[in-house]
């Protein structure tokens, strides 16, 4: 670690998307050379996923330490960082928070989400409520998480950062580089960015950013696979690239129950290909990107690559695509096949990830918190003891660590807890509001009920 204004920073992560986010976010701070502590869990990025996630960031091999959970407390005690960025799914953040609670030299703790976070979900905030700062990436997300906090009684400070993958677009959106073609007039027009001269190979690919969580249904995912096949057959000279996050045998942040690889023909057209490279590399030759609701849409927009956010299955919080309402990016499968991609409307950009850099004040907030901690004026936000006592705490730990937890209490807790959690999930399903509750409320950007995804940490 080296210091920016004398501040030592460590990021603790496991899954690939959080590795990419943490490295990119901290790499945006001038003069900072952070260290990444990669803790072994069932979700931990493989060496190849790590390479892909760190592509284009400031972190090199010497800035990464792979470590077992049991070693983290001693490592942190020896390094004495001023700031720890907890970069993982909610239960991982809570578990690492317990480690930090035991340190004599307590760092400032920062947490966040690795991409678009609309709707703001109760669990996402609740698991991170004991960190000193929650980082989000748009003015809309700030409002959503602050309102969610008021609704559930959580007072975690929220700070705005620029999504690391959205920076290039800000330089492109100078007045001389932008015009608006109003396809239907007024605010409903489609913005068409005049790109600067590209220093890259010819851009002809259609890139599909696959997601593990949405759409959930096998039939809907099969319809997407069929769309990709039609797009490849419609124009054999154009590649259709299915961008995946994990190779067979690797894990990723969320659990994919219906992989696209199993839904496409065993011998697809030669121009229908899979890619495990970084999204930034895939976009270098992209004429357009299609997704349901991946943050890759923001990364593509940042590079001036036009986008279609699929609305073929509707627009809803459960599809995570309500953020695109008003963007001009929503479109159907036939438009993908025809190659009718588009750029977002300028009116949508500022509130949704493309605010001016000067409005991103998260690092200034971190510096203030460090000053308070050094002066003894920042109270510790500790993770409370598990309500079920030691067995419940062992369950939390074993759920996150999987086979990496070799303790007897962990094994007992999993044996007892797995059927109990299945029963509790069934009860929650029966008690869920018939109308979908806040997950069906299009007038808000937050949800209060548990999310509808079958996305267990246990693999």
pLDDT digits (tens, 9 = 90+) for 394-436: 999 999 999 999 999 888 888 887 776 766 666 666 677 877 8
Name the strand (E) or helix (H) holding 412.
Answer: helix 408-431
**Which range has the worst mean pLDDT, 19-23, 257-261, 393-397, 419-423?**
419-423
- CA dist 57 and 34 (Å) reads 11
Which pLDDT value is given to residue 179? 33
Q: Six-digit token pair at 202?
A: 């010819």
What is the widest separation between alpha-carbon atoms in the chain? Answer: 66
| CA angle, 46 then 48 then 49, to 5° | 65
Confidence of residue 174 (pLDDT cuts 50, 70, 90): very low
Report how far apart, in Å, the C-alpha atoms of 30 and of each of 27, 54, 112, 419 are: 7, 17, 20, 49
Q: Which of 148, 155, 119, 150 is nearest to 315 (CA)?
A: 119
What percent of the chain shows pLDDT beyond 70?
89
The SS3 of residue 430 is helix
Quick: pLDDT tens for 103-157: 999 999 999 999 999 999 999 999 999 999 999 999 999 999 999 999 999 999 9
Q: Which of 426, 405, 429 is nearest to 415 (CA)?
A: 405
Position 188 pLDDT exceeds 70: no
Quick: pLDDT tens for 333-361: 999 999 999 999 999 999 999 999 999 99
More confident residue, 225 or 435: 225
Quick: pLDDT tens for 191-202: 333 344 445 567
Q: What is the mean pLDDT of residues 286-299?
A: 98
Which pLDDT value is given to residue 426? 64
More confident residue, 43 or 195: 43
- CA dist 404 and 389 (Å) reads 21
Mean pLDDT of the chain: 90
Quick: pLDDT tens for 116-126: 999 999 999 99
pTM confidence score: 0.91
- CA dist 339 and 335 (Å) reads 6
Cis peptide bond prior to 215, omega within 30° of 0: yes
More confident residue, 406 or 4: 406
Q: What is the mean pLDDT of residues 432-452?
A: 92
Which pLDDT value is given to residue 387? 86
275 CA to centre of own chain: 19
The length of the chain is 459
Cβ burial, residue 457 (10 Å; 0-12/13-18/19+) = buried
Report how far apart, in Å, the C-alpha atoms of 340 and of each of 26, 271, 289, 332, 422 are: 36, 19, 11, 10, 44
Residues 53 and 25 sit within 8 Å (Cβ to Cβ): no
């Amino acid at each position: 670690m080296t210091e920016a204004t004398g501040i030592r920073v460590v990021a603790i992560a496991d899954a690939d998307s959080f590795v990419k986010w943490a490295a990119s976010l901290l790499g945006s701070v001038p003069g900072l050379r952070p260290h990444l502590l990669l803790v072994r869990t069932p979700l931990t990025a493989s060496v190849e996923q790590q390479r892909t996630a760190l592509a284009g960031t400031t972190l090199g091999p010497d800035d990464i330490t792979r470590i077992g959970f049991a070693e983290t407390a001693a490592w942190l005690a020896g390094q004495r960082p001023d700031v720890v960025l907890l970069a993982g799914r909610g239960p991982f953040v809570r578990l690492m928070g317990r480690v930090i609670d035991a340190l004599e030299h307590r760092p400032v703790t920062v947490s966040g989400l690795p991409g678009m976070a609309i709707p703001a979900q109760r669990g996402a905030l609740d698991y991170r409520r004991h960190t000193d700062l929650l980082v989000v990436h748009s003015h809309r997300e700030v409002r959503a998480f602050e309102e969610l906090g008021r609704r559930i009684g959580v007072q975690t400070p929220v700070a705005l950062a620029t999504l690391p993958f959205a920076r290039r677009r800000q330089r492109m959106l100078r007045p001389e580089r932008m015009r608006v073609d109003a396809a239907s007039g007024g605010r409903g027009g489609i913005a068409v960015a005049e790109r600067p001269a590209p220093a890259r190979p010819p851009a002809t690919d259609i890139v599909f950013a696959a997601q593990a969580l949405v759409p959930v249904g096998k039939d809907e995912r099969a319809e997407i696979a069929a769309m990709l096949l039609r797009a490849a057959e419609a124009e054999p000279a154009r590649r259709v690239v299915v961008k995946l996050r994990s190779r067979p045998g690797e894990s990723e942040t969320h659990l994919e129950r219906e992989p696209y690889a199993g839904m496409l023909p065993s011998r697809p057209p030669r121009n229908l290909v899979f890619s495990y490279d970084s999204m930034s590399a895939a976009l270098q030759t992209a004429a357009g990107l299609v997704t349901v609701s991946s943050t890759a849409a923001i990364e593509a927009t940042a590079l001036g690559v036009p986008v279609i956010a699929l609305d073929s299955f509707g627009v809803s919080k459960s599809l995570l695509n309500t953020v695109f309402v008003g963007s001009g990016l929503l479109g159907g499968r036939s438009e993908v096949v025809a190659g009718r991609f588009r750029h977002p409307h300028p009116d949508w950009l500022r509130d949704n990830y493309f605010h001016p850099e000067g409005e991103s004040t998260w690092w200034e907030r971190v510096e203030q918190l460090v000053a308070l901690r050094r002066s003894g004026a920042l109270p510790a936000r500790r993770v409370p003891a598990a309500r079920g006592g030691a067995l419940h705490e062992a369950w939390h730990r074993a759920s996150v660590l999987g086979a990496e937890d070799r303790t007897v209490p962990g094994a007992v807790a999993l044996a007892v807890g797995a059927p109990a959690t299945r029963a509790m999930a069934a009860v929650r399903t029966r008690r869920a509001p018939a109308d979908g509750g806040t997950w069906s409320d299009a007038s808000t950007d937050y949800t209060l009920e548990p999310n509808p995804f079958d996305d267990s940490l246990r693999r």
